[in-house]
Amino acid sequence: MSASRPVFYVSDGTGITAETIGHSLLTQFSGTDFTTHRIAFVDSTERAGEAAERIRAAGEAHGVRPIVVNSCVDPELSRLIAGSGALMLDVFEPFIAPLEQELGQSRLARVGQAHGMVDFDSYHRRIDAINFALTHDDGMSINYDDADLILVAVSRAGKTPTCVYLALHHGVSAANYPLTEEDLEHDRLPPRLRAHRGKLFGLTIDPVRLQQIRQERRPNSGYAKLETCKREVAAAEAMFRAERIPVLSTTHTSIEEIASKVMSTLGIQRGMF
């Protein structure tokens, strides 16, 4: 029997840092089956003790030693968690000494504001960008002058999640332009987009995949027919080529990767929230 190995992302904050690096690490060990849990806001000896107990119990239940990916900054809390008997992977510890030496400065013995609100201005930029994405999601009534970039694609090719991600994590105001049947009859850019060439990025998708997505949304509609999907995608791709709009297929690409590639292609440099 191959037992599933319990993995705990333990943090004195949200646990996002621990989960992000832990998840990346685990994907490099695909031969093992993992069961993951997040224990967030472990910011007192009491909560650390509770976490340790929960981890220890999971090890007993699974009959295998748990793995803890730990981002608690306070060594006392980490020590308590290690009392669970788990393999401890401390995500900050290996990097603190080299950084202290390089910077000639000691680390702060408290939780970093890694995902805290850094300042009012940048928070505002983030919220404004989210509101921008939501308000302009229908591609109508948009003043494209205010957009940092414009994603152009047929319906359901991945524009909306990408806009939302760009807003939430980079404070980028991303607008949509959904290509209509009428647009697709021409090989040229729709007139409303012509003044904004430098902001345009095209998304495309495998027609079979598009058909699946549309079928879930509007079963057995003309819109969801494979033939419609093939025709629309071919027309959109021809237009992108003719107009030299950069383009990316979303078929096998995560939202994060699409967002990263759009930003690097259009030369938009922004930090990450």
- Residue ranges for the known binding site are 153-160
Report the C-alpha gap between 226 and 234 in whole angstroms.
12
- Check if the beta carbon of residue 243 is closer than 8 Å to that of residue 188: yes
List beta partners, residue 248: 203
- Check if the beta carbon of residue 148 is closer than 8 Å to that of residue 162: no
Cβ count within 10 A of residue 177: 23
1 or 108: whose CB is closer to its own copies?
A: 108
At its nearest, how many Å lie between its own copies and the CB of residue 230?
Answer: 20
Site for its own copies in 97-136 (CB under 8 A): 98-99, 102-103, 105, 107-108, 112-117, 123-124, 126-127, 130-131, 134
Residue 123 structure tokens: 């928070």
- Check if the beta carbon of residue 26 is closer than 8 Å to that of residue 86: no
Site for its own copies in 214-253 (CB under 8 A): 216, 252-253
At its nearest, how many Å lie between its own copies and the CB of residue 151?
Answer: 14
65 or 241: whose CB is closer to its own copies?
A: 65
Q: Which of 21, 82, 226, 268 contacts its own copies by CB under 8 A?
A: 21
Element containing residue 5 per DSSP (H, E): strand 5-10
- Check if the beta carbon of residue 109 is closer than 8 Å to that of residue 70: no
Site for its own copies in 69-98 (CB under 8 A): 71, 73, 87, 89, 91-92, 94-96, 98
The count of chain residues that interact with its own copies, using the rule CB under 8 A, is 77
At its nearest, how many Å lie between its own copies and the CB of residue 263?
Answer: 9
At its nearest, how many Å lie between its own copies and the CB of residue 265?
Answer: 11
| Residue type, position 157, single letter | A
Q: Which of 8, 12, 19, 174 contacts its own copies by CB under 8 A?
A: 19
53 or 257: whose CB is closer to its own copies?
A: 257
CA distances from 162 to 173, 176, 182 (A): 11, 10, 24
Site for its own copies in 149-208 (CB under 8 A): 160-161, 164-165, 168
Provide CB contacts within 8 A for 190, sequence distance 6+: 177, 179, 180, 183
Report the C-alpha gap between 247 and 77 in whole angstroms.
48
At its nearest, how many Å lie between its own copies and the CB of residue 88?
Answer: 9
Cβ count within 10 A of residue 146: 11
33 or 145: whose CB is closer to its own copies?
A: 33
At its nearest, how many Å lie between its own copies and the CB of residue 218?
Answer: 13
Site for its own copies in 42-71 (CB under 8 A): 65, 67, 71
Report the C-alpha gap between 228 and 217 in whole angstroms.
15
At its nearest, how many Å lie between its own copies and the CB of residue 53?
Answer: 17
Return the range that interacts with its own copies (CB under 8 A); candidates 19-27, 47-55, 77-85, 182-190. 19-27
Which parts are annotated binding residues for ADP?
A: 153-160
